[in-house]
Amino acid sequence: MSALPTDAPTGAATPAAVLAPVALPVRWLAHLVDWTVIAMGTVLITLVFANVVIHAFGKDLAWMTELGELLMVWVTFLGGAAAAQRGAHMSINEFLDKLDEPKRRWADAAVQSICLVVLAVVCFYGARIVAGGWGNTLTTLEWPMSWQYLPLPLGCGLMFAFVAWDLLQILRGVPRAQRYPQA
């Protein structure tokens, strides 16, 4: 079994190729997150469109609105994880862009370390919110309220995994241009 990723050029000995054995599960997780966001987004768009059409005829289905709200929360936090795995979160890089490569690497590592701490705190408290919400139900769907809270720790947990992977790559010396190639 080859240690090179299937999408690496033959004979390529790049730092990304060295990281390939661990990168494959991260890549699969990233694809799973992407396709989940696409599927939920598609259902959300369909629900909103159907709800607008129904409202045009003076009718209302409350469960459609509540399900749309639920899906919006899921898409938001899973979308945040999708952005994290691409390094696409908003950032102000004027200071960082002026640093030479070794200093930039350590600054990136410091930022990602701070992000990991914040994400760990949010995951911890998010899990407590989810645990406390199983006894409450959504108004029209009558599902446990925790289904609406669950994207918070789940999305932040996924972000934690992607940011931790990025930090590992930073510490191994993989430059940003190689970690997040521009399409």
- Residue 1: pLDDT band (50, 70, 90) is very low
- pLDDT tens readout for residues 21-34: 457 888 899 999 99
How many CB atoms lie under 10 A from the CB of residue 52?
Answer: 9
- Residue 47 inside a domain? The answer is yes
Range of the domain at 113: 15-179
- Residue 126 inside a domain? The answer is yes
- Residue 9 inside a domain? The answer is no
- Residue 4 inside a domain? The answer is no
Token pair in block for residue 15: 């730092």
- pLDDT tens readout for residues 144-182: 999 999 999 999 999 999 999 999 999 998 888 788 876
Number of H helices and E strands in the chain, helices first, is: 7, 0
- pLDDT tens readout for residues 12-24: 444 444 443 457 8
Dihedral over Cα of 97, 82, 149, 66: its sign = positive
- Residue 1 inside a domain? The answer is no
Angle subtended by helix axes 20-56 and 151-171, to nearest 10: 150
- Residue 153 inside a domain? The answer is yes
- Residue 69 inside a domain? The answer is yes
**What is the phi/psi pair of residue 144, to 5°?**
-55, 135
- Residue 79 inside a domain? The answer is yes
How many CB atoms lie under 10 A from the CB of residue 86?
Answer: 14
The residues, ordered by sequence, that sit 6+ positions from 27 with a Cβ below 8 Å of its Cβ are: 5
Percent of the chain at pLDDT above 90? Answer: 68
When divided into structural domains, the chain yields a total of: 1
The residues, ordered by sequence, that sit 6+ positions from 54 with a Cβ below 8 Å of its Cβ are: 60, 61, 64
Alpha-carbon distance of 136 to 24, in angstroms, equals 39
